[in-house]
Chain A
Amino acid sequence: MVLSVDLAARKLGLRPGTPVAKAQALHPDLVLLDADPEGDRLGLEKLALWFQHRIAPIVAVDAPDGLVLDTTGADQLHGGELPMLKDMVHRMAGAGFRAKAVAADTWGAAHAIARYGRAPIAVVPPGEIAGTLADLPLEALRLPDTIIDGLATLGVSRIGPLAAMPRAPLALRFGPDVARRLDQAFGRMGEAIVPVRPVDPVEVSRNFAEPIGAAETIARYIGRLVPLLCQGLDERGQGVRRLDLLLHRVDSRTEAIRVAMAMPVRDVRRLTRLLCEKIETIDPGFGIERMVLIASLAEPMDRRQTVSSLIAEEEVDVSDLIDTLANRVGTQALYRFAPVESDLPERSFCRVPALASEETKDWPEHWPRPTRLLARPEPVQAMAELPDQPPLFFIWRGVRRKVKCADGPERVFGEWWKNDAELTIARDYFRVEDTSGERFWLYRAGDGEHGETGSQGWFLHGIFG
């Protein structure tokens, strides 16, 4: 039996389920590979770990051909649900897989729509599961084949009619599975996702005889788990880069807290603090009965030699502050500027991570630079003598300013090695001061002589202090 076909085979008209002999009779030069369910499962597990690394802490294999992720709270970090799904599918396509991704309220619904829905990427809004599922075939419900065949005998082939049937006769005839799968898909019954675990992580857990729920209690137990974890890390000589705290609730849902560090950390106080700051993001529901703390990304941590008082003063370590801030505003909102070798002001800097190694280059200091650089140069009306005199006056944002003195021009050429259109472009920068003492950075697009160098219009690009 053919289990799966690639795109080329699909074009030839082959479908999963065709007997092998028939397929070979149709196309004698068909390439056949033996099914390897064990290999597939291992591959899926690897993929699950990769998703756990990239997207969210709770990821499980949805055998035989899928993954299920609990992305609660993770979507904001990827720009929303739809961009997150697009990014996932895009990355899978980059690795050579055709994937479908669906975000829905329940595992059951997402499973069904991803496999039997039309769109490759879909977000099912809350409350619209019933409508979306109604038209899908029964196979989408994760029921055994015998039950599906039996229901087909009864003339039921879609989820909508099945959901409308009375429960008792169904349960009597087919057992409790039908009702359970329906409830799971429609969100009337919870379904736990047991996440995959990275290979041999440092992990500590605690079970509670009485479920806990208060923020203070959670904080207290975080305070007890973290030292144990750090002890475990210490034994291996590792520090943690990413820490997941999984809180198993009594209704078998799992809440998760994830904190990330810029550098490997093994400091009890610091980790406790980072975790406790995020307590408010979790919903304890009816109570938490198990807490698991996993160092999902650990890296070797070497001891650093401390500076003795003979040498220059010790550089204060700010990586803990960086972590606190990054977990609040996001890693990409925390950066330093580094020089880029370009004469165009807007290209002369780039953002690097706050703790990136220090670059040796620096900006040239020949000319004064404005404190504020406008995101986009603003066109101004100006009058200037050609070819290289500063403007006599200019009008910016409706205010006419007479130029008292000026420095310039500083000519900047387009970077033809980046873009062919920039081959002839030039800009002449002037630092001008108006009669009230305000100082501006103006430029003329073009060299004032040749039309191909630019529009010869004037722009304001920065403001000096």
Chain B
Amino acid sequence: MTAELNKKPGLETLRAAISRLEGHSDRRRKMLPFGVREIDARLPGGGLALGALHEVAGGGNDALHSAAAGQFCAGIAARTRGKVLWIVTRQDVFAPSLKQVGLSARRTIYVEARSDVDVLACFEEGLRHGGLGAVVAEVARLSMTASRRLQLAAETSGSLGIAIRRWRRQTDAADFGQPTASVTRWRVSVLPSVSLPVPGVGRPRWLLELIRARAGECADFEVEACDAKGRLAPCSPIADRLSLPAALADRPDQEAAGQRRARA
């Protein structure tokens, strides 16, 4: 234990020296924690780095629809401040659903670009601006060069960039194996929802795979999907065993949402 403590200052100076060499400024990177202990502990810095590019793709059929991946990103964007730019090539986002994870339609500006090239250009423009909370772009192909440009743009302005990788055909999804300059890479797959004691669909659950994290390790998490404020929740085994709906075993604002639903 003492040895570890003694080692740490040296490690810190070394890290600082490396980051200076890499050209990062001295100011500390800001983080956006998920608020879920298991996930934040696995991410270097204790959260999703702002001023960086992140990649998210759907698993299985969701690689085509990106429904879970989209919801996951909307949840992240909802927890940032300022406007959100959402860049697509074909528009099929259903705005009321983003509202339900806390991303208001007043904050979200959509750009419908004609091609992937335009998407990347707008993406970079949005990241460079620096006044946006998050920039989300749905893009199929993301080359090393393109992602490096985006990463640099995000680093200089401090904006959060999320690339939703979305393909037209299932076979194209193999492209996700190619290396890019993004800081983290996630795959979101749907899991059966929390089972309820009554007929109905419970709170959705996702399998979050952290496929790549710069200066971190890969990990898998099972989580309950974003709530009305865009926060994830760990799958609670107690709630599962007792077959309690997540809404009841959860935080007060979930209860409020549950009541709203019950009133409806």
Question: Does residue A51 face the partner (Cβ distance < 8 Å to B)?
Answer: no
Residues of B within 8 A of A374 (CB): 92
Residues of A within 8 A of B85 (CB): 321
Residue in B closest to A336 when the chains form the complex, CB atoms: B109
Give A320 Cβ to nearest chain B Cβ, in Å.
Answer: 8
Residues of A within 8 A of B195 (CB): 405
Within 8 A of B (CB), among A329-372: 329, 333-339, 345, 348-349, 354, 358-359, 362-372
| Distance of A465 Cα from B75 Cα, bound (Å) | 11
Within 8 A of A (CB), among B74-88: 74, 81-83, 85
**CB atoms of B126 and A321 under 8 A apart:** yes
From A150-158, A185-193, A213-221, A430-438, the one touching the partner chain is A430-438
Residue in B closest to A371 when the chains form the complex, CB atoms: B67
Residues of A within 8 A of B36 (CB): none
**CB atoms of B94 and A345 under 8 A apart:** yes
**CB atoms of B225 and A465 under 8 A apart:** yes
**CB atoms of B113 and A329 under 8 A apart:** yes
Residues of A within 8 A of B114 (CB): 329, 333
Question: Does residue A42 face the partner (Cβ distance < 8 Å to B)?
Answer: no
Question: Does residue A406 face the partner (Cβ distance < 8 Å to B)?
Answer: yes
**CB atoms of B66 and A372 under 8 A apart:** yes
Cβ-defined partner of B118 (8 Å) among A315, A329, A465? A329
Determine the interface band of chain A, counting residues with CB < 8 A from chain B.
35 or more
Residues of B within 8 A of A371 (CB): 66-68, 70-71, 74, 93-94, 97-98
Cβ-defined partner of B83 (8 Å) among A318, A324, A432? A318
Q: 1/0 per residue A307-339: CB within 8 Å of B? A: 000000101111011101100110001111111
Question: Does residue B63 face the partner (Cβ distance < 8 Å to A)?
Answer: no
| Distance of A411 Cα from B195 Cα, bound (Å) | 25
From B2-10, B26-34, B171-179, B185-193, the one touching the partner chain is B185-193
**CB atoms of B199 and A405 under 8 A apart:** yes
Question: Does residue B141 face the partner (Cβ distance < 8 Å to A)?
Answer: no
Question: Does residue B248 face the partner (Cβ distance < 8 Å to A)?
Answer: no
Residues of B within 8 A of A115 (CB): none
Say yes or no: A463-B67 contact (C-beta < 8 A), given A334-B109, A336-B108. Answer: yes
Question: Does residue B218 face the partner (Cβ distance < 8 Å to A)?
Answer: no
Say yes or no: A462-B108 contact (C-beta < 8 A), given A433-B193, A439-B204. Answer: no
| Distance of A316 Cα from B125 Cα, bound (Å) | 16
| Distance of A336 Cα from B96 Cα, bound (Å) | 12
Within 8 A of A (CB), among B191-214: 191-193, 195-196, 199-202, 204-206
| Distance of A345 Cα from B216 Cα, bound (Å) | 42
Question: Does residue A375 face the partner (Cβ distance < 8 Å to B)?
Answer: yes
| Distance of A435 Cα from B191 Cα, bound (Å) | 9
Cβ-defined partner of B201 (8 Å) among A325, A365, A372, A433? A433
Question: Does residue B132 face the partner (Cβ distance < 8 Å to A)?
Answer: yes
Residues of A within 8 A of B131 (CB): 316-318, 321
Cβ-defined partner of A334 (8 Å) among B66, B98, B111, B200? B111
Within 8 A of B (CB), among A410-465: 431-433, 435-439, 462-465
Residues of A within 8 A of B149 (CB): none
| Distance of A372 Cα from B86 Cα, bound (Å) | 14
Residues of B within 8 A of A251 (CB): none
Give A259 Cβ to nearest chain B Cβ, in Å.
Answer: 15
Residues of B within 8 A of A358 (CB): 106
**CB atoms of A336 and B92 under 8 A apart:** no
Residues of B within 8 A of A315 (CB): 82
| Distance of A366 Cα from B262 Cα, bound (Å) | 8
Residues of B within 8 A of A345 (CB): 94, 96
| Distance of A367 Cα from B125 Cα, bound (Å) | 36
**CB atoms of A359 and B106 under 8 A apart:** yes
Residues of B within 8 A of A366 (CB): 260-261, 263-264
**CB atoms of B100 and A465 under 8 A apart:** no
Question: Does residue B24 face the partner (Cβ distance < 8 Å to A)?
Answer: no
**CB atoms of B204 and A336 under 8 A apart:** no
Question: Does residue B112 face the partner (Cβ distance < 8 Å to A)?
Answer: yes
Within 8 A of A (CB), among B246-264: 257, 260-261, 263-264
Say yes or no: A369-B122 contact (C-beta < 8 A), given A329-B111, A333-B112, A465-B70. Answer: no
Residues of B within 8 A of A375 (CB): 92
| Distance of A258 Cα from B264 Cα, bound (Å) | 52
Question: Does residue B49 face the partner (Cβ distance < 8 Å to A)?
Answer: no
20 A-B contacts, Cβ less than 8 Å apart? A316-B131, A325-B125, A325-B126, A349-B96, A369-B100, A370-B94, A370-B97, A371-B74, A371-B93, A371-B94, A372-B93, A405-B195, A436-B60, A437-B205, A439-B201, A463-B65, A463-B67, A464-B97, A465-B190, A465-B204
Residue numbers of A with Cβ under 8 A of B are 313, 315-318, 320-322, 324-325, 328-329, 333-339, 345, 348-349, 354, 358-359, 362-375, 404-407, 431-433, 435-439, 462-465
Beyond A337-B108, A465-B68, A465-B188, 16 additional contacts (C-beta under 8 Å) are: A321-B126, A325-B122, A328-B121, A328-B125, A336-B109, A362-B105, A366-B264, A371-B93, A372-B65, A372-B92, A375-B92, A438-B62, A463-B65, A463-B67, A464-B97, A465-B225
